[in-house]
C-alpha cells in the first residue's frame, strides 16, 4: 500500500474508532490507535488456545478488533517478523528459546514478557511402576539394574528405555544419562503427539514406561504418576562440571523450570499502544491453567465456554490490564 493511502485510511480508522468508542463508552476514546484487527496466533494445544482466547476476549472488551490465525508454533516467527501476525501468547522457554532468540535478534520481534505460567518438564513415570521399582521417585532408584530392566524393551535390554521429547526440544537427556551414569537408553519421540500416544498405550496395558512430560498439560491430570526427583536444577549444574554428584560432567541434575513468554511483532507497540500495554500486563498461573485444560481435554467442555467462565469470574483482574 502506498504511504498516502495508509495515512488516510488510518485517519479514517481513528475516526471510526473514536465513534465506536463513544458508542460503547469504552475508555479508549481518542487514542491514536489502528482499527486493523490484532492477529493472535492459535496453535494446536488446548492451553495455548485458552491463553490466546482470554487475551483476545480482553482486547475485545477494550474495543479492539481481534483476529485469530491458526499457525504453527515455530513457523509463526516468519509471520511475526513481517507483521503478518501480531501476537503469540505462549512461547515456551524450554522449546522455543532458539527460535525466539533468532527472531528477537532481528529487531522485528519483541518479547512481551512472561505469562506468569511456568513450564515444568521432567522425567515421569506412572504410579504402578513403583511396585517394580520401589525407590522411585528418587532418581537414584533408576541406577538399580533391576529397575532399569523393568523399563527395558527388546531393543534396549538390559538397559532401560527412556522416551525423550523430539530432538528439536533439546533438553540434554543424553548428557544427563551419561552424567548421572544411568543404565538407560534415550529414544526420541518425533513429536509431542507421539509421546503421549506411547504413554496412553503403556498406561492402558499397565506396561512400563518412563518418559518426558511437561506441564501445564492434560497428561499429569489424566494419568496417575510422579515426576522423577533429580537433584534440583541450578545454573551452575549446566555450566560447571564440578557441580553435583559427577565432578567431571555437566547436566547431573534435573531440568530447569522455564518461563512461558508472550512474544509478538515489534510494531504492535506503535500501532496499538493500549493493546501493547494490556498484553504485557497479562498473567495467569499454572493452577488456573491446569484446571482449565482439564475442563476442556478431559471433561469435554468447549474452549469458548471455559474462557467465558474465566472472564466472568476474573473481571477485576482483566479490567486492570486494560485500564488506561
Q: How many CA atoms lie within 13 A of 133 on its CB side?
A: 29
| Complex with another protein: residue 79 or 244, whichever CB lies closer | 79
Which residue's entry shows cell 485458552? 50
Alpha carbons 123 and 83: distance in angstroms, whole number: 38
Output the CA–CA distances (angstroms, integers) from residue 149 to 156, 161, 179, 230, in the order listed.
9, 9, 19, 20
CB of 234 to another protein, least distance (A): 27
| Complex with another protein: residue 66 or 253, whichever CB lies closer | 66
| Complex with another protein: residue 206 or 242, whichever CB lies closer | 206
| Complex with another protein: residue 24 or 245, whichever CB lies closer | 24
| Complex with another protein: residue 103 or 180, whichever CB lies closer | 103
| Cβ atoms of residues 86 and 39 within 8 Å | yes
- SS3 sequence of 115-157: EEEEEEEEEEEECCHHHHCCCCCEHHHHHCHHHHHHCCCCCCC
| Complex with another protein: residue 201 or 245, whichever CB lies closer | 201
Q: How many Cβ atoms sit within 10 Å of the Cβ of residue 184? A: 23
CB of 94 to another protein, least distance (A): 13
CB of 12 to another protein, least distance (A): 12
CB of 304 to another protein, least distance (A): 13
| Complex with another protein: residue 103 or 148, whichever CB lies closer | 103
| Complex with another protein: residue 57 or 140, whichever CB lies closer | 57
The cell numbers describing 323, all together, are 485500564
Alpha carbons 26 and 319: distance in angstroms, whole number: 12
| Cβ atoms of residues 221 and 206 within 8 Å | no
Task: Give the binding site for another protein (CB under 8 A).
Answer: 20, 35-39, 42, 44-46, 49, 56, 60, 64-67, 69-72, 74-79, 81-82, 84-85, 98-99, 102-103, 153-155, 163, 166-168, 187-194, 196-198, 200-201, 204-205, 207, 218, 297
CB of 207 to another protein, least distance (A): 8
CB of 134 to another protein, least distance (A): 26
CB of 305 to another protein, least distance (A): 13
| H-type alpha helices, the chain | 3-24, 46-61, 76-82, 93-105, 129-132, 145-150, 173-179, 192-205, 219-222, 235-239, 268-271, 273-281, 286-297, 303-313, 315-321
CB of 76 to another protein, least distance (A): 7
| Cβ atoms of residues 251 and 78 within 8 Å | no
Amino acid at each position: 500500500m502506498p504511504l498516502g493511502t495508509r495515512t488516510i485510511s488510518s485517519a479514517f480508522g481513528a475516526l471510526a474508532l473514536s465513534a465506536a468508542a463513544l458508542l460503547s463508552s469504552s475508555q479508549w476514546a481518542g487514542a491514536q490507535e489502528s482499527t486493523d484487527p490484532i492477529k493472535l496466533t492459535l496453535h494446536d494445544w488446548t492451553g495455548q488456545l485458552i491463553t490466546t482466547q482470554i487475551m483476545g476476549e480482553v482486547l475485545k472488551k477494550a474495543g479492539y478488533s481481534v483476529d485469530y490465525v491458526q499457525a504453527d508454533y515455530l513457523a509463526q516467527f516468519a509471520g511475526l517478523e513481517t507483521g503478518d501476525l501480531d501476537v503469540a501468547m505462549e512461547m515456551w522457554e524450554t522449546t522455543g528459546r532458539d527460535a525466539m532468540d533468532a527472531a528477537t535478534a532481528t529487531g522485528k520481534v519483541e518479547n512481551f514478557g512472561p505469562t506468569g505460567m511456568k513450564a515444568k518438564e521432567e522425567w515421569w513415570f506412572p504410579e504402578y511402576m513403583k511396585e517394580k521399582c520401589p525407590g522411585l521417585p528418587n532418581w537414584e532408584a533408576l541406577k538399580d539394574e533391576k529397575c532399569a530392566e523393568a523399563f527395558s524393551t527388546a531393543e534396549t535390554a538390559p538397559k532401560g528405555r527412556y522416551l525423550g521429547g523430539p530432538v528439536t526440544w533439546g533438553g540434554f537427556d543424553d548428557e544427563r544419562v551419561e552424567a548421572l551414569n544411568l543404565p538407560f537408553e534415550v529414544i526420541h519421540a518425533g513429536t509431542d503427539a507421539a509421546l503421549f500416544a506411547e504413554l496412553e498405550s503403556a498406561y492402558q496395558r499397565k506396561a512400563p514406561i518412563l518418559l518426558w512430560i511437561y506441564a501445564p498439560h492434560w497428561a499429569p491430570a489424566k494419568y496417575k504418576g510422579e515426576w522423577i526427583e533429580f537433584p534440583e536444577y541450578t545454573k551452575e549444574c549446566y555450566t560447571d562440571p564440578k557441580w553435583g554428584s559427577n565432578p567431571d560432567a555437566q547436566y547431573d541434575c534435573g531440568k530447569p523450570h522455564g518461563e512461558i513468554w508472550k512474544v509478538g511483532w515489534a510494531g504492535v507497540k506503535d500501532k496499538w499502544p493500549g493493546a501493547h500495554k494490556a498484553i504485557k500486563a497479562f498473567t495467569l498461573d499454572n493452577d488456573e491453567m491446569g484446571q482449565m485444560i482439564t475442563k476442556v481435554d478431559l471433561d469435554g467442555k468447549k474452549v469458548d465456554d471455559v474462557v467465558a467462565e474465566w472472564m466472568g469470574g476474573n473481571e477485576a483482574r482483566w479490567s486492570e490490564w486494560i485500564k488506561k
